[in-house]
Amino acid sequence: MKALYKAGPQAGFELVDRPEPTVGPDDVKIRVMTTGICGTDLHIQSWDAWAQGIIEAPLIPGHEFYGEVVETGGDVRDVKVGDRVSGEGHIVCGICRNCRAGRRQMCIHTVSVGVQRDGAFAEYVVIPETNVWVHHDPSVTPELGAIFDPFGNAVHTALSFPLVGEDVLITGAGPIG
């Protein structure tokens, strides 16, 4: 498959051929139709100090995407081949103290798609079924579906505080801002 690839510890990406990812029993393989470009991806591309401290190349970046399910693992129950989907980019363990207490966003074993494992700047990406968001509404376009991850972060943040009647400063030029 074609992929944008961070081959090593230097600036830039390469367009290369990579093996298609394989599915595990709980995984979903998605044919990527559209991706968003996050600030994280720009850090990885420029190989700045942040990227140098967290990225272990080689890596396929990209975590904001929309696509079509082409294969599912044997234990996948609710996601079907042909579903149009986007995905949550933070893969959690499900068994640490925080996960078991319902605080999955604080999992101490979180792995990020396109940061610590291969991501969606490729023809295919594989993620666990628990990270897949099925878009049942046909009005969700591939472009809109690709920003569900950052938009969800913004909505979660806004709904985490009592903001009615408050002055709020919104910053940032991307989907979250």
SS3 26: coil
CA distances from 81 to 28, 68, 134 (A): 9, 8, 11
DSSP per residue, 38-107? -HHHHHHHHT-HHHHHH--SSB-----EEEEEEEE-TT--S--TT-EEEE-SEE--S-SHHHHTT-GGG-
Q: What is the pLDDT of residue 91?
A: 96
> Where do the structural domains in the chain lie, given as residue ranges?
2-159
Question: pLDDT band for position 5 (50/70/90)?
Answer: very high
Q: How far apart are CA 41 and CA 64, in angstroms?
A: 10
Pick the CATH number of 2-159 from 3.40.50.1100, 3.30.420.140, 3.40.50.200, 3.90.180.10: 3.90.180.10
Residue numbers annotated as active site? 40, 43
- Compute φ and ψ for 91, nearest 5 degrees: -95, 125
Q: What is the pLDDT of residue 65?
A: 96
Residue 32 has pLDDT above 70, yes or no: yes
Q: What percentage of the chain reaches a pLDDT higher than 70? A: 98
Segment 60-95, tens digit of pLDDT: 999 999 999 999 999 999 999 999 999 999 999 999
Q: What percentage of the chain reaches a pLDDT higher than 90? A: 73
CA distances from 92 to 88, 113, 121, 128, 149 (A): 10, 11, 21, 10, 15
Q: Which residues contact 169 (CB under 8 A, 6 or more apart)?
A: none
Q: What is the pLDDT of residue 11?
A: 96
